[in-house]
């Protein structure tokens, strides 16, 4: 028997996730990734330390003023705060929506050298049912698309883009069947030496194929959120595009590819510095003209400063929360085109 999906409820959650002035905190670092972050501040990555750090972020005063949702790692979804309150309830009480990263990472894609496919579809429907019961109302799945180095145009290959687009669409359909809003994240990496125009071409191809697959899998666009990369030059490119050019080309690409029915687009930061990610988002919202809301879904760009201020010592919670609150506010302003660099210096 076909399950009845409450599309209006999905749309309400999706719209809440991209409300003006608010965006999404990506706190879904895997055990390996959070260990690297903790190594940078010279502390051991234990379950209690991970809990302490994330609870500190979630209990930041006025957390929900600029944070609409939090993407969690499965460990965190199941953890309780020090006082015994489930962390999911701490997030809800702060006015944000709890979400869950559900993909199981990437593996090499057969016969496509240097390209990967995201895994995790097997058993996903049952996992989503359980995550909903625990309190998750949205999910995230990340596809990773690289761009060839040194002018190699064989990457991304059609095979890689198609395989990842299909997996994203299958995941999104399973989410909606289980009354969970899917964040669809096709990330074109910014690690290479490609220029901004090559990034545009690759991003356009990926987004066109993703939305074709979403259509074929009967995903309701009004009940999802897109999490794409921005159109920017690779980190190793000798000619870096300015903020305005990146904003204009990102908007042009999105207008060419993303249907108006999608409630919102929450950008990944992709390794940009804190201020770069904020400036690019602000520039796009200052230009405006798109049918969807544009906001942030940042990890490092929100967490680098508070992690450093915290340093593994709960006595520093106040200082770390102030650093997090500042970055959340800066990006909240950028999501409505009202950020200014002078505000960074005033902090």
* In-domain check, residue 283: yes
Q: What is the pLDDT of residue 1?
A: 53
The domain in which residue 208 lies consists of 7-346
Q: What is the pLDDT of residues 177-202, one digit of tens each?
A: 999 999 999 999 999 999 999 999 99
Does the model's pTM come out above 0.95? Answer: yes
Taking the C-alpha atoms of residue 317 and residue 53, their distance in angstroms, rounded to an integer, is 9
Written as six digits, the tokens of 24 are 């999404």
* In-domain check, residue 136: yes
The DSSP bridge pattern shows strands 116-118 and 106-108 to be antiparallel
Location of structure tokens 């106040």: 318
Written as six digits, the tokens of 190 are 């910014």
Q: What is the CATH number of the domain that holds 206?
A: 3.20.20.70
Q: What is the pLDDT of residue 2?
A: 64
DSSP, collapsed to helix, strand or coil, labels residue 57 as helix
* Residues with active-site annotation: 185, 227
Give bridge partners of residue 238 from the DSSP assignment: none
Give percent above pLDDT 90 in the chain.
97
DSSP letters for 18-35? T-TT-EEEEE---HHHHH
- CA–CA–CA angle 204, 66, 12 (5° rounding): 65
* In-domain check, residue 143: yes
* In-domain check, residue 245: yes
- Residue 347 reports pLDDT greater than 90: no
* In-domain check, residue 2: no
* In-domain check, residue 114: yes
* In-domain check, residue 298: yes
Look at the chain and report how many structural domains it folds into. 1
Taking the C-alpha atoms of residue 343 and residue 274, their distance in angstroms, rounded to an integer, is 13
Taking the C-alpha atoms of residue 306 and residue 25, their distance in angstroms, rounded to an integer, is 13
Q: What is the pLDDT of residue 45?
A: 97
Taking the C-alpha atoms of residue 173 and residue 216, their distance in angstroms, rounded to an integer, is 10
* In-domain check, residue 266: yes
Q: What is the pLDDT of residues 4-45, one digit of tens each?
A: 899 999 999 999 999 999 999 999 999 999 999 999 999 999
Q: What is the pLDDT of residue 345?
A: 81
């Amino acid at each position: 028997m076909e399950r009845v999906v409450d599309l209006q409820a999905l749309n309400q959650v999706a719209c809440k996730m991209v409300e003006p002035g608010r965006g999404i905190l990506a706190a879904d670092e895997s055990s390996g990734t959070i260990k690297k972050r903790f190594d940078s501040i010279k502390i051991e990555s234990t379950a209690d330390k991970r809990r302490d750090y994330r609870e500190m972020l979630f209990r930041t005063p006025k957390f929900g003023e600029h944070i609409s949702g939090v993407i969690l790692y499965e460990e965190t979804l199941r953890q309780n705060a020090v006082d015994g309150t489930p962390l999911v309830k701490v997030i809800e009480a702060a006015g944000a929506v709890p979400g869950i990263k559900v993909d199981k990472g990437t593996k090499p894609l057969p016969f496509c050298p240097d390209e990967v496919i995201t895994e995790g579809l097997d058993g996903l429907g049952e996992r989503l049912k359980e995550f909903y019961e625990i309190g998750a109302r949205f999910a995230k799945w990340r596809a990773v698309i690289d761009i060839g180095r040194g002018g190699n145009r064989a990457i991304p290959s059609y095979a890689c883009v198609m395989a990842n687009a299909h997996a994203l669409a299958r995941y999104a359909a399973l989410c909606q069947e289980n009354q969970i809003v899917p964040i669809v994240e096709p990330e074109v990496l910014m690690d290479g030496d490609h220029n901004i125009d090559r990034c545009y071409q690759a991003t356009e191809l990926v987004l066109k194929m993703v939305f074709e697959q979403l259509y074929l899998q009967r995903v309701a666009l009004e009940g999802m959120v897109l999490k794409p990369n921005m159109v920017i030059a690779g980190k190793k490119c000798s000619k870096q595009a300015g903020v305005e050019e990146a904003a204009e080309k990102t908007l042009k690409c999105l207008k060419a590819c993303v249907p108006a029915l999608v409630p919102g687009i929450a950008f990944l930061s992709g390794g940009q510095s804190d201020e770069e990610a904020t400036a690019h988002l602000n520039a796009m919202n200052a230009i405006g003209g798109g049918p969807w809301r544009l906001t942030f879904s940042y990890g490092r760009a929100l967490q680098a400063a508070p992690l450093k201020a915290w340093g593994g010592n709960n006595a520093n919670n106040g200082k770390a929360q102030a650093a997090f609150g500042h970055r959340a506010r800066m990006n909240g302003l950028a999501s409505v085109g009202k950020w200014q660099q002078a505000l960074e210096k005033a902090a």
